[in-house]
Chain A
Amino acid sequence: MNTARKDVCRLLRFYSGAPGAKPKKVQKTVDPRRTFKVYRFDGIITKAQPQMKNYDLDVSTCGKMVLDALIKIKDMDPTLAFRRSCREGICGSCAINLQGKNCLACITEIPPDKTITIYPIPHMYVIRDLVVDMTHFFNGYDSIRPYLIRHDRSKSLGKHQYAQSVEDNAKLVGLYECVLCACCSTSCPSYWWNGRRFLGPATLLHAYRWVVDSRDEDTEARLYDLKDDFAVFRCHTIMNCSLACPKGLTPHVYIALLKRLISKIDKKPRPSLETLKYASGNK
């Protein structure tokens, strides 16, 4: 009885935030001299086998992101190939598999581990080292018609702004930020096994983005294209996608909402502001 009371008091003190209540978290101090094991593959033409190459790098000599380490490794070994562009997590080029998890190299800190393993994103054909063939991924994205479609085919297309209320625009938050890095799709087992016909979380997130946009008028055709049992319904709510997203998006939520729209449980609401409000030139 006494020990139970002591435990409860200890827990109350722990969570109360009082000074000295929480034991200091022991910072894992790791020697900055790390070993990077990087997947190397010379390309399908050479008939060589892929292998892991070890690079010893002192991470105190480079920036703290994985991309900085990769660039430093490329200084040592110029034959290493990897994609990169913006170095700020907005272009989506540098997607890699770090310690078994997909991430963007430019915005992921070098983990405090002695050995750091870098693979290309899983279940994609490797062109060279960490560069993978994204053709199929982008073809799937193109197939959902990722552009605004309105019924008006006249010459006045683009002459006037399409009005959208603040609430309708807020629906796009969490959808427009996707940079098509493919971290989510290549972490989805369904996309691994059926990537040929299953669209994958990234494309489905964008499909939902265009369906839910109040300015788009092609909703019926968009949803009709997705109703077969492979495009969307290979998703079995594994939710690896939301774990992997380096931008913090949640594709699994939007795929669920997309499934509800396709099966007509939900209906897309009418735009709360008349889209063609400014069309006749009114302010």
Chain B
Amino acid sequence: MAFSMFLRAPACTSKLFSQQIMRIATQQAMKPVAAERMLSSVLPTQHTILKSNSPPILNAVRSFRTSPALLQEEKAHDHSKLWVIEKLTSAVLVPLIPICLILPNKMFDAALAILVTAHSFWGLEAIAVDYVRSSIFGPFIPKLAIALVYIISIATLGGLFYLISNDVGLSNAIKQLWSVKSKQVA
């Protein structure tokens, strides 16, 4: 990261050129208005040293990718809507868990199963994305980690649905944890 920048900066003479190429290579389809605004929102061209129409340091943080694999994975996408849903799920779970435990029924159980699985999926996904990074683990293991998170979440949801439909149900199963008296054998 900063180290590779530090080593390359003196030697790299065509920094602006390589930035331009990287920007073009990694650009995704943008709203036309936003695209126009991004270019026009930079200082007017008479103020730039080079007369090229490139915005000076627009995406400097993303300008030093080294391989096609890395280039691919860093395309931006809109995360803001997902973030709102994640926070809403957390907020809804706060009243929902006590209510479900107090009034056990299939509807609440199903809702709880879906929300809890979603919440833990997003949590595990954040852990995998944050810690299992390709700079330490190489190109394959991070993808494996994300795949494992998906598999664990799907299996959890499947298991919970089985518990609800063919077994005692989610809230009752949790209550049963307390039903084993200490004098009973296992």
Residues of A within 8 A of B (CB): 124-125, 127, 133-137, 139-140, 142-143, 145, 149, 151, 153, 157, 190, 193-197, 199, 218, 220-221, 224-225, 227-231, 233-234, 236, 259, 262-265
A133 x B130 contact (CB < 8 A): no
What are 17 contact pairs spanning A and B, CB under 8 A? Answer: A133-B3, A133-B5, A134-B2, A135-B2, A136-B61, A139-B60, A139-B63, A143-B57, A151-B40, A153-B40, A193-B131, A193-B133, A194-B133, A197-B62, A220-B33, A228-B79, A229-B129
Query: A196, A218, A225: which contacts B1 (Cβ < 8 A)?
Result: A196
CB-CB under 8 A from A229, the residues of chain B are 77, 79, 82, 129
Q: Classify the secondary structure of B's interface with A.
A: helix
Interface status of B29 (Cβ within 8 A of chain A): no
Other contacts beyond A136-B5, A196-B1, A229-B82: 19, CB < 8 A = A133-B2, A133-B6, A139-B5, A139-B57, A139-B63, A145-B41, A145-B58, A151-B41, A193-B133, A195-B1, A220-B33, A224-B34, A227-B79, A227-B80, A229-B77, A230-B74, A259-B83, A263-B83, A263-B84
A149 x B41 contact (CB < 8 A): yes
B80 x A264 contact (CB < 8 A): yes
Considering the chains assembled together, what is the distance between the CA atoms of A225 and B126 in angstroms? 21
A233 x B83 contact (CB < 8 A): yes
B41 x A221 contact (CB < 8 A): yes
Q: CB-CB contacts of B93-106 with A at 8 A, as 1s and 0s? A: 00000000000000
CB-CB under 8 A from A142, the residues of chain B are 57, 60
Query: A125, A218, A234: which contacts B41 (Cβ < 8 A)?
Result: A218
B2 x A221 contact (CB < 8 A): no
Cβ distance B29 to chain A, nearest Cβ, rounded Å: 13
Considering the complex, give the chain B residue whose CB is closest to the CB of A228.
B76
Considering the chains assembled together, what is the distance between the CA atoms of A127 and B6 in angstroms? 9
A143 x B61 contact (CB < 8 A): yes
Interface status of B81 (Cβ within 8 A of chain A): yes
Interface status of B25 (Cβ within 8 A of chain A): no
Cβ distance B147 to chain A, nearest Cβ, rounded Å: 18
Interface status of B38 (Cβ within 8 A of chain A): yes
Considering the chains assembled together, what is the distance between the CA atoms of A139 and B1 in angstroms? 11
Count chain A CB atoms within 10 A of each CB in B37, B44, B61, B74 and give the residue with the most: B61
Q: Classify the secondary structure of A's interface with B.
A: loop
CB-CB under 8 A from A196, the residues of chain B are 1, 61, 135
A136 x B34 contact (CB < 8 A): no
Considering the complex, give the chain B residue whose CB is closest to the CB of A134.
B2
Q: CB-CB contacts of B1-26 with A at 8 A, as 1s and 0s? A: 11101100100000000000000000
Considering the chains assembled together, what is the distance between the CA atoms of A263 and B1 in angstroms? 29
A228 x B61 contact (CB < 8 A): no
A125 x B3 contact (CB < 8 A): yes
Considering the complex, give the chain B residue whose CB is closest to the CB of A135.
B5
A197 x B59 contact (CB < 8 A): no
Considering the complex, give the chain A residue whose CB is closest to the CB of B76.
A228
B61 x A220 contact (CB < 8 A): no
A125 x B126 contact (CB < 8 A): no
Considering the chains assembled together, what is the distance between the CA atoms of A282 and B95 in angstroms? 58
CB-CB under 8 A from A143, the residues of chain B are 57-62
Considering the chains assembled together, what is the distance between the CA atoms of A143 and B80 in angstroms? 19
CB-CB under 8 A from A227, the residues of chain B are 76, 78-80
Cβ distance B102 to chain A, nearest Cβ, rounded Å: 30
Considering the chains assembled together, what is the distance between the CA atoms of A246 and B11 in angstroms? 36
CB-CB under 8 A from B129, the residues of chain A are 229
With A197-B62, A228-B76, A263-B84 known to touch, is A125 a contact of B130 (CB < 8 Å)? no
B126 x A236 contact (CB < 8 A): yes
B37 x A218 contact (CB < 8 A): yes
Count chain B CB atoms within 10 A of each CB in A137, A145, A149 and give the residue with the most: A145
When A and B form their complex, which 5 residue pairs have the shortest distance between CB atoms, in order from nearest? A228-B76, A229-B79, A136-B2, A263-B80, A139-B60
